[in-house]
Amino acid sequence: MSTFKRKVFVALHWRKLIQYFFQGLVVLAPIGITVYAVLWLFRAVDSILPNILHDLFPKLMYTSESGEFRRIPGLGFVVALLIVLFVGWISSFFFVSRLVHVFDKVLENTPGVKYIYTSVKDFLEAFSGNKKKFDKPVLVNVDSAGVWRIGFITQESAAHFDMEDHMVVYVPYSYAISGITYLVPRDKVKPLKDTSPAEAMKFAISGGITEVD
């Protein structure tokens, strides 16, 4: 085999290896990141119960002088899940809901605390509960003419900014958990009637790679 043919042969094999590497990366990366995120969330939640018990009963939670917790893997996660379900259940009763409402108002009017509390509350309610905000996918024109972004109407009117003819639209960034909020004239917003909120969000976050059914 001549030197030229040998070089071509080696180059083709290296190209094939690189192709296989990226194919494997495409297969393994989403799986690995998903598994890592799930395990991280599980461990974070699972550690809540032992930490609380340690604060309440320090002697109960230690097994040795090294300071290691006595714990059953998964018990903290299960208990936290049951507590959340229990709180969700009892909060549906009128008397408890009234108490929650009073406590809610106290936190919302406490200086300093109200900014943290209302921000977290509004963010969670945007995805769940009775006040979902990201349930109205739209196309919004906020750049040059003919260029549209995928967004979600969060408020039908921006009247509190003296802009009654504008809507508040949240536009998520691709490959990120952040986004930007726009106050847009109504004629620059087009509802996506045949696209579900989940499909619109996946399409926007994936950079347009995900196919919309």
Domain limits, the chain: 3-46, 91-127, 137-205
Phi, psi of 115 (to 5 degrees): -65, -40
Section 162-173 average pLDDT? 90
Q: What is the pLDDT of residue 183?
A: 94
75-84, 107-116, 121-130, 150-159: lowest mean pLDDT where? Answer: 121-130
- Give the C-alpha separation, 53 to 42, whole Å: 18
Section 125-138 average pLDDT? 70
Quick one: DSSP state of residue 154?
E
First to last CA, the chain: 53
Ranges of beta strands (E only) in the chain are: 137-140, 149-155, 166-172, 179-185, 189-191
25-29, 53-57, 115-119: lowest mean pLDDT where? Answer: 53-57
Whether the Cβ atoms of residue 125 and residue 154 lie closer than 8 Å to each other: no
Q: Is the pLDDT of residue 42 over 80?
A: yes
In the chain, the amino acid numbered 76 is G
56-65, 93-102, 164-173: lowest mean pLDDT where? Answer: 56-65
- Among 149, 155, 186, smallest CA distance to 171 is for 149
Residue 161, classed as helix, strand or coil, is: helix
Instruction: Please give the model's pTM, rounded to 2 decimal places.
Output: 0.55
Mean pLDDT of the chain, nearest integer: 78
Q: Is the pLDDT of residue 114 over 80?
A: no
List all residues 6 or more positions away from 143 whose beta carbon is below 8 Å from its beta carbon. Answer: 149
Section 23-39 average pLDDT? 80
Cα torsion 172, 177, 180, 183: sign: positive
Residue that is written with structure tokens 């936290």 in the block: 80
Q: What is the pLDDT of residue 198?
A: 82
